Amino acid sequence: MKVDIHGLTVKADDRNILGDVSLTAEPGTVTGLIGPNGSGKSTLLRCVYRALRPTTGRVLINEDEVWRLSARAAGQRTAVVTQDHDLDNSFSVAEIVAMGRLPHKRLLERDTASDHDTVHEALARVGMAWAAGRVFARLSGGERQRVLLARALAQHTSVLLLDEPTNHLDIGSQLELLELVRALDLTVVVAIHDLGHAVAYCDRLALLCEGRLRAAGAPEEVLTPATVAEVFGVRSAIVPHPLTGRPHLVTAPAG
Ligand SMILES: Nc1ncnc2c1ncn2[C@@H]1O[C@H](COP(=O)(O)OP(=O)(O)OP(=O)(O)O)[C@@H](O)[C@H]1O
C-alpha cells in the first residue's frame, strides 16, 4: 500500500512544527525520515499513525484518508514501533505480541491457534522466541525494542512505521534489525538518526529541517556534502563500503 502525505502542517504553541510537508512512500520501499533533533520526524510519523491530527493537510493510505478509516481498519493497514510505550508492567512478551492481532479480531474474540502461530513466528523472526513467557517489563531496552517490532510484524499490515528503531540496540542487533526491515517487502517509513544506516538501508530519504521538507529522493541526491554541511554542520562523503560495496556515508567534523 502506498502512503501519500499531502501538504501536512502541524501548529503547536503558535508555531509550525511541520510546514506544508508532502511525501510519498511507495509499496515495497523503505523511506528514511532524517533531520536534526526537533525537525519534525516523530510528528510526521504521528500524523501517519493517527496519534495526531494535522492542522491542515492529509495522509492517505492506499487512497483512503487515515482519519476516515475506523481505528480497526487503520490498524489492519499500519503498524508502528515507537520509543514511548505505556504498557502494563505485568504483561508477558507473548501477550504483548498478541496485541498485534487485535485489529483482526472481533470484540472479546479469543486468540486462535493461528494467532498463537503468528505470535511465535513474529518472535522467532526478531530472535526473541526464547522470551515468550517472560515479563516484558523485565527485559532489557534492546530486547523490548525487538518485542515491539515482533508485535508490529504480528499485525500483518502493509505499512510499517518505525521511530528510531535502532535506539537501545547494540551494533550487531542494529544491523540485524535493519537487514530484516529491508527484506520485509512492506511500505516502511522509518525515522532514523544514523545517516550511515539511512544511506545503506533506505531506498529513499526525506530530509526535514525545522519542520520543512528540505529534500527528498535517492540517498545520494539528498545527502550531498553541501546539504549535510548546511543542515548538520559536518563534512561528509558517500563512498562504497569497504566490506559490503554498498553506499556508505562517512562524516568528519567541519574543517
Ligand atoms: N505537542 C507538542 N506541543 C508543542 N511542541 C511540540 C509538540 N510535539 C512536538 N513539539 C515540538 O515540535 C518539534 C518537532 O518535534 P519532533 O519530536 O517531531 O522532532 P524529531 O525530529 O522527531 O526530533 P528528535 O530527533 O529529537 O527525536 C520539537 O521542537 C518539539 O519540541
**What is the 254 CA–ligand 1 centroid distance (Å)?**
26
Q: What is the mean pLDDT of residues 111-129?
A: 90
From 16, 43, 49, 53, give the residue whose CB has the most ligand 1 atoms within 8 Å, as the site to mutate.
43
Task: State residue 17's pLDDT score.
Answer: 94
Please tell me the pTM assigned to this model.
Answer: 0.93
Q: Evaluate if residue 79 carries a pLDDT over 80.
A: yes
Q: Which three cell numbers stand for residue 79?
A: 503498524
Q: Strand 30-34 relative to strand 204-209: parallel, antiparallel, unpaired?
A: parallel
Using CB distances shorter than 6 Å, the residues near ligand 1 are 12-13, 17, 35, 37-43, 191
Residue closest by Cα to atom 3 of ligand 1: 12
Return the domain boundaries, the chain: 87-155
Residue closest by Cα to atom 8 of ligand 1: 43
Q: Tell me the pLDDT tens digit for each residue of 80-112.
A: 998 766 666 789 999 999 999 888 877 777 778
Q: Are 236 and 227 in contact (CB under 8 A)?
A: no
Task: State residue 176's pLDDT score.
Answer: 87
**H or E segment to which residue 17 belongs:** strand 15-25
Q: What is the mean pLDDT of the chain?
A: 92
ipTM summary value: 0.96
